């Protein structure tokens, strides 16, 4: 039977005999709000991860995201073992598995951290409903953000949002529980439950990376290094934040320690939360442009151009290097994400949803809410409106990869070519794919398309003919 006690903070706590802690996007024991509360409130905690087919269905990237995810589960299992517990991984639907465990193992409460994504919120509500029917407590905690999206009144522009966000109190990180007592169950090891899933080696994203990265990364120099893809100038923590191997509070703590005044890295964390803020207040923008005036753009949507973009053979080396990095590593430098997104939506006048679909299949750190926000921003149809901006791939290449170190890493066939020629594929004939479009012609066409003008179909046909594409 549950009992009541008063904690050191003077707050009343209910003691449960046995509870479930349901892991989702928080695959860690350190600074895990829901887990710590479950351990404090319970005699025994059953740590659970539900491996749903709807989750696995998103991992169609040939194994990179799946490999990372499996390593994350194995790492969590090791952390729990070190605390005297284990990770129970079951395949199926949470709405069915959790009620079954409640009935079969005398569970008195289910603890979890609050979900915010579309499918996650729906799944939480379904499990909570089942728990209520069974007379079991369902407790969820804010853990994913420094400031939860709903705690700031609606803002459509980042700067006003950020000004409020900065002024809100940020909770300090919590330590991992010293020990977790768990019931003795006959459970298959995580390796057994996931063995048939790991289709590719996780070469680029070791699960323990955040520990050393938070210690060694120079957050104070971020503003000077972040735009140059040939440098190790970004934190590379996005996959770990996405799956919760590191908490946003630990990252914030490290960034603030390096630069007590809000340095250039802190707004990056705020942007992540701004996109969730937008999706909270404007859920329709999941599939619809935030700006109403941009909801009827006449996209060209050439499958051939799209394939060339996806495969890194547009003939613009800076664009193709980014797309090849994505294919090789399951990740892309942020400057290149902006360049490639601008090229798809402005130079190829292709629907941003096509680009988001490709990123969703290949990015290890893909986060639907954040990526949709970023794609709409790049396509000049989202929140936080900017002057209509088209990235010139020649200038981007010259400014941010002047010696072509990044380009040559991912396009080795250009190794012997001088940087000046690589930067100017319209001027020089490279031993490489020829440009599929003329940037300057397409820039003018993009202005016409985005202003609501009708693009002459004959003109489009001529452009395609000139580039040798149907």
Catalytic residue positions, numbered: 268, 271, 299, 334, 352, 375
Asked if residue 319 lies in contact with residue 343, where contact means CB atoms within 8 angstroms, the answer is yes
Report the candidate in 208, 216, 209, 212 with the shortest Cα–Cα distance to residue 257. 216
Task: Please state, in angstroms and as integers, the Cα–Cα distance from residue 85 to each residue in 1, 45, 181, following that order.
Answer: 22, 9, 6
Task: Give the separation between CA 18 and CA 39, rounded to whole angstroms.
Answer: 10
Report the candidate in 122, 123, 127 with the shortest Cα–Cα distance to residue 110. 127
Burial class for 389, CB neighbours closer than 10 Å (0-12, 13-18, 19+): exposed
DSSP 131-143: HHHTT-EEEEE--
Task: Give the separation between CA 271 and CA 275, rounded to whole angstroms.
Answer: 6
Report the candidate in 318, 376, 350 with the shortest Cα–Cα distance to residue 442. 350
Bridge partners of 113? 141
Asked if residue 428 lies in contact with residue 441, where contact means CB atoms within 8 angstroms, the answer is no
Task: Give the separation between CA 183 and CA 53, rounded to whole angstroms.
Answer: 27
State how far Cα 96 lies from the chain centre.
28
Task: Give the separation between CA 313 and CA 413, rounded to whole angstroms.
Answer: 12
In the 8-state DSSP scheme, what is residue 455? Answer: P
Collapsing DSSP to helix, strand or coil, 18 comes out as: strand
Asked if residue 352 lies in contact with residue 379, where contact means CB atoms within 8 angstroms, the answer is yes
Asked if residue 27 lies in contact with residue 190, where contact means CB atoms within 8 angstroms, the answer is no
Q: Give the burial string for 124-138 (b: 16+ CB within 10 Å, else e).
A: bebbbebbeeeebbb
Task: Give the separation between CA 360 and CA 207, rounded to whole angstroms.
Answer: 21
In the 8-state DSSP scheme, what is residue 301? Answer: -
């Amino acid at each position: 039977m549950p009992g009541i006690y008063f904690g050191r903070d003077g707050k009343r706590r209910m003691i449960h005999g046995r509870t479930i802690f349901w892991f989702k996007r928080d695959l860690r024991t350190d600074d895990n709000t829901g887990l710590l509360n479950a351990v404090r409130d319970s005699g025994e905690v059953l740590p659970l991860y539900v491996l749903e087919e709807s989750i696995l269905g998103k991992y169609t990237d040939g194994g990179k995201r799946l490999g990372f995810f499996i390593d994350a589960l194995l790492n969590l299992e090791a952390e729990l073992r070190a605390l005297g517990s284990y990770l129970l991984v079951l395949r199926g639907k949470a709405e069915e598995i959790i009620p079954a465990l409640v009935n079969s193992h005398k569970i008195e409460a289910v603890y979890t951290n609050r979900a915010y994504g579309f499918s996650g919120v729906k799944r939480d509500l379904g499990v909570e409903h089942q728990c209520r029917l069974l007379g079991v407590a369902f407790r969820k905690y804010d853990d994913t953000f420094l400031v939860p999206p709903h705690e700031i009144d609606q803002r459509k522009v980042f700067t006003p949002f950020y000004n409020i966000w900065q002024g809100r109190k940020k909770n300090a990180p919590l330590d991992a529980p010293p020990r977790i007592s768990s019931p003795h169950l006959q459970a298959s090891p995580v390796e057994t439950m996931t063995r048939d899933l790991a289709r590719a080696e996780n070469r680029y994203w070791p699960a323990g990376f955040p520990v050393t990265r938070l210690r060694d990364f120079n957050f104070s120099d971020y503003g000077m290094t972040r735009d140059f893809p040939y440098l190790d100038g970004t934190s590379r923590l996005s996959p770990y934040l996405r799956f919760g191997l590191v908490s946003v509070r630990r990252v914030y703590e490290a960034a603030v320690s390096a630069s007590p005044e809000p340095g250039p890295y802190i707004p990056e964390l705020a942007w992540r939360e701004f996109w969730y803020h937008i999706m909270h207040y404007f859920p329709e923008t999941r599939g619809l442009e935030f700006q109403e005036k941009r909801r009827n753009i006449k996209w060209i949507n050439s499958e051939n151009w799209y394939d060339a973009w996806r495969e890194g053979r547009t003939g613009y080396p800076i664009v193709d290097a980014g797309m090849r990095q994505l294919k090789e590593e399951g990740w892309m430098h942020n400057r290149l994400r902006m360049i490639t997104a601008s090229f798809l939506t402005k130079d190829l006048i292709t629907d941003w949803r096509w680009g988001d679909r490709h990123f969703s299949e290949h990015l290890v750190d893909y986060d639907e809410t954040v990526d949709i926000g970023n794609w709409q921003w790049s396509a000049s149809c989202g929140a936080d409106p900017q002057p209509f901006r088209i990235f010139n791939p020649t200038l981007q290449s010259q400014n941010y990869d002047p010696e072509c170190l990044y380009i040559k890493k991912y396009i080795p066939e250009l190794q012997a070519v001088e940087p000046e020629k690589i930067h100017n594929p319209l001027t020089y004939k490279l031993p490489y794919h020829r440009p599929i479009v003329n940037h300057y012609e397409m820039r003018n066409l993009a202005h016409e398309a985005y202003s609501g003008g009708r693009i002459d179909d004959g003109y489009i046909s001529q452009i395609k003919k000139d580039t040798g594409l149907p």
